[in-house]
Amino acid sequence: MKTVRVAGVGLTHFGSAPDRTGRDLFAEAAQRAFDDAGVARSDVDELNYGNFMGADAERQSHQAPIMADAAGIHCPATRYELACASAGVAVRAAVRTIRSGAADVILAGGMERMTNLSTPAATDALSIAADSLFEVRAGITFPGAYALMAQAYFDSFGGDREDLAHIAVKNHKNAVPNEYAQYQREITVGQVLDAPQVASPLGLFDACPITDGASAIVLVSDSYATENDIDAPVTISGTGQGSDRAALSEREHMAQTPAATAAAEMAYAEAGVTPDDVDVAEVHDCFTIAEVLALESIGFYEPGAGIGAAARGETTADSDRPINLSGGLKAKGHPVGATGGSQIAEMTRLLRGDHPNSNHVSDAEIGLTHNAGGTVASAVVHILEVDK
């Protein structure tokens, strides 16, 4: 099985870009990835591109060949759609293809343009990642769905809104030095608790923003890197994917996410590591409760033990295992089709030492990314390692 290396990464600033098109955003991310990688565009064998709501937001389906053209590459191009895990599964497919020997260079990533829609329209477009028949038609949106998950967690294990507030505060603080983050400003626990409620028990600062942005990753085989003298110290040593019932009402437990557990176990097994070996992680915190569920599902905490981690200082930047040093979806932003690729890009920069928060993990050798779709009906987990 071939080793897969991250040759280069590229991101746009995450935020509001009402005057730009999706292809413009992806072209920028791709340009940065190629510049970082030092890989010729003519060497790219495939494009794996993640996007969820382009048909609604830009009235454009069949985006993959358009994005290949925007990136300046001429190769087979495929769009991957797995709700908010679209780019995560695009990267996973690229890793598996290179490992198989079918390709040596793949450009993977994604894009989402969302702020050109009104908040109600964006909420409606996102809602169809839930079960349309049993949830969407009943009026469920994702703030409401994650509120149900948060309340189920409190009922089962305890915890309160202040525990969640510490997660938001932590991730906003981490985003301050990140030049790609949507919200580069700190907030306080008091601000989180005093903010308007969106869906009880979740308030405004418990939710990630509506975001425009793109991510691009140049992945190469180890042999290609060696033959072309490519400096690519970060490898993707493990990848896993899991699925669950889409409707919350059909699940055994609304406060656990077995799809992520399955994905993590698969990724750990491939990499030959355990949760205790992981030094730093980027997890899918679309809502503050989602970070808690993620930490428990990937084996960092037992069920019910993750709720106070941020308040106890166990996941902050100066802790032994920082979580979401990028700012997470909460503060960095969440352009849904790009997020999984963004997590890989941020983790690569952290492990290489060229992220503004790399000083917090200067000795880190193993990182994990956790990307979820819907209410974690889909999950993709990657293990990244750096040559020391």
Extract the tokens encoding 326: 């990028």
For the four alpha carbons of 143, 148, 151 and 152, in that order, the dihedral sign comes to negative
379, 339 contact by CB (below 8 A): no
Do residues 219 and 199 make contact, with C-beta atoms less than 8 angstroms apart?
no
DSSP-assigned beta bridge partners for residue 243: 378
Number of neighbours of residue 201 by Cβ within 10 angstroms: 18
**DSSP letter string, 198-219:** EETTEEGGGBPPP-BEEEEEEE
Contact between 30 and 48 under an 8 Å Cβ cutoff? The reply is no
> How far apart are alpha carbons 95 and 5 in whole angstroms?
9
Residue 157: CA count within 13 A, CB half-sphere: 22
Name the residues annotated as catalytic: 84, 334
The DSSP letter of residue 356 is T
DSSP state letters, 75-123: S-EEEE-BTBTHHHHHHHHHHHHHHHTS-SEEEEEEEE--TTS-HHHHH
Amino acid making up residue 10: G
C-alpha to C-alpha distance for 102 and 96, rounded to whole angstroms: 9
Burial classification of residue 316, based on how many CB atoms lie within 10 Å of its CB (0-12 exposed, 13-18 middle, 19 or more buried)? buried
Residues in the chain: 388
Pairing between strand 202-203 and 280-282?
Answer: unpaired
CA dihedral of 258, 114, 77, 86, whole degrees rounded to 10:
0
Q: How many CB atoms lie within 10 A of CB 176?
A: 15
